[in-house]
Amino acid sequence: MSLTGTQKLAAFLLSLDTETASTILTRFTEAEISDLCREMIGLRTLERDTVEEVQHEFMEMMENSEGFIPNTRSVAEQLLRLAVGDEKQMEMLGYQEDGRIRSRPFEVLGGVDARQLAEVLKAEHPQIVALVLSYLKPQQAGMVLSRLPEEIHSDVVVRMTRLEKTSVELLGRLDHVISAKVQSAEPRVGGINEETKNKKVAEILNLVGKTVRKSALETIAKEEPERAREIENLMFVFEDFLTVDDTSVRKVLMEVDNDTLALALKTASEELRDKFFHNVSKRAAESIRETLDSFGPKPLSEVEAAQHEIMRTAHALDEQGQIVLRRSEEEQLV
């Protein structure tokens, strides 16, 4: 399949996790982001071989282009682990097996889809599952645990609380075995269908600024108005917390510190502020208001970063089935 340069970058972004893709997009102008989003939804279903070829070409470009992105090699290493796994990363960037260095065991699993990782781990002994989960980020570990058989949940959690120091050699062997099983399982970089594209574009647009989001949707709507509506329906932006039930809002706020919430509310409407204040204690609400009032001028990027942190927390809880962020039109409560 012959792709233009923009289409190759669009395919590469679709193959990455949402947070990494949105980080890359911040390097582009609003017009370029709009073009990329249009190309994402315009691509037909991409086969796995095509996606891997695009990834390989992009990684080589990053490796050989001085100043293309600050700290090019470290960025390339991080993205390559997420895209094709640790073994291919070493081969493509010239590592030797005996020179491999990892800052944390199971680091390569950080970019693996929770469903896929749970599928691999459910065949392992609970002790191994507990060890692997203990090295993952809390949000990812929670999503993986929620997808494991319910009958082992308690056992795994108890074992995590009782983990003792494990030798570096044993960790290395387990890391290699689990990573190999993940690589040999159904590839996380597979074909990209229409539903996946719409969802990915929606997730990416959730994590960019309002101006960029509006421009991208308007660009898509000019050619495919129905597609633009589908993407917008899949999105969840900060103001949409107004539509979330109070129980779900409280669960989100339990995971968010008050300073982050105060910063996030700096550009929020009075109605949305009241929504959040209603779902914390009176004392906490007063403290957040005082913090908010004490803020001087803040860069919009800092405010949006705080909002994105809360949204990521909400999305993680939604993935775990603990809250519901959006309902279809058929499911709307009346």
What is the model's pTM?
A: 0.41
Is 120 in contact with 110 (CB distance < 8 Å)?
Answer: no
Give the whole-number percent of the chain exceeding pLDDT 90: 16
Could you report the per-residue pLDDT of 189-224, keeping only the tens digit for each?
444 566 667 777 887 777 666 677 778 888 888 888
Q: Please give the pLDDT value at position 97.
A: 43
Task: Tell me phi and psi for residue 192, to 5 degrees.
Answer: -115, 110
Question: Quick one: pLDDT at residue 174?
Answer: 87
Average pLDDT over residues 220-243: 83
Q: Residue holding tokens 């600024």?
A: 209
**Residue 251 pLDDT more than 90?**
yes
User: Does 8 score more than 80 pLDDT?
Assistant: yes
For the chain, the structural domain boundaries read 107-184, 237-326
Domains 107-184 and 237-326 share a fold: yes
Confirm or reject CATH 1.10.220.30 for domain 237-326, answering yes or no.
Answer: yes
Distance between CA 228 and CA 217 in Å, rounded? 6
Q: Exposed, middle or buried: residue 238 (CB in 10 Å: 0-12, 13-18, 19+)?
A: buried
The first and second tokens of residue 105, run together, are 């065991």
Among 59-63, 184-188, 252-256, 296-300, the minimum mean pLDDT is found in 184-188
Q: What is the mean pLDDT of residues 136-159?
A: 84
Give residue 275's pLDDT band: very low, low, confident or very high (50, 70, 90): very high
Confidence of residue 289 (pLDDT cuts 50, 70, 90): very high
Contacts of range 180-186, beta carbons closer than 8 Å, 24 or more positions apart: 180/87, 181/120, 182/85, 182/108, 182/109, 182/112, 182/116, 182/117, 182/120, 183/85, 183/87, 185/116, 185/119, 185/120, 186/116, 186/119
Residue 68: pLDDT above 50? no
Q: Give residue 243's pLDDT.
A: 87
Pick among 2.60.40.60, 3.40.228.10, 1.10.220.30, 3.30.930.10: CATH of 107-184: 1.10.220.30
Q: pLDDT tens for residues 19-45?
A: 677 777 777 777 777 778 778 877 766
Q: So what's the pLDDT on residue 287?
A: 93
- Average pLDDT value for residue range 299-308: 86
Mean pLDDT along residues 78-91: 50
- State pLDDT tens for residues 111-136: 777 888 888 998 899 999 989 988 88
The predicted pLDDT at position 291 comes to: 92
What percentage of the chain carries pLDDT values higher than 70? Answer: 76
Supply the pLDDT for residue 252: 94
Give me the pLDDT at residue 270, please: 92
Supply the mean pLDDT for the chain.
Answer: 76
